[in-house]
Amino acid sequence: AELLATNFQGITHPDDLEADQEYLVALLAGDMDACQLEKRYVHKDGRPVWVGVTAALVRRLLGHKEPA
C-alpha cells in the first residue's frame, strides 16, 4: 500500500533522479525503445537499495483491441 501511494521519483535516490528523468524523456520521445540501468531506491528506513531496472514504453493506439 505504501508503494502504491508514491511514484518512482518518490523512492529514487536523489543522486539518481536526473539520469532517471533523462531516460524517461528519451523513452517518451521515441529516442529509445528500452533501457537497462542500475540505480538506487531509498528504503523507508533511509538506506539505499541497489536494483537492476529494465524499462520499456508500450504504446497502444486508442480504440485498438488486443488480440485474444
pLDDT digits over 11-31, tens only? 999 999 999 999 999 998 989
Of 68, 36, 32, 40, residue with least CA distance to 55:
36
Instruction: Flag whether the pTM goes above 0.75.
Output: no
How far apart CA 34 and CA 16 sit, in angstroms, is 18
Q: What is the mean pLDDT of residues 3-9?
A: 88
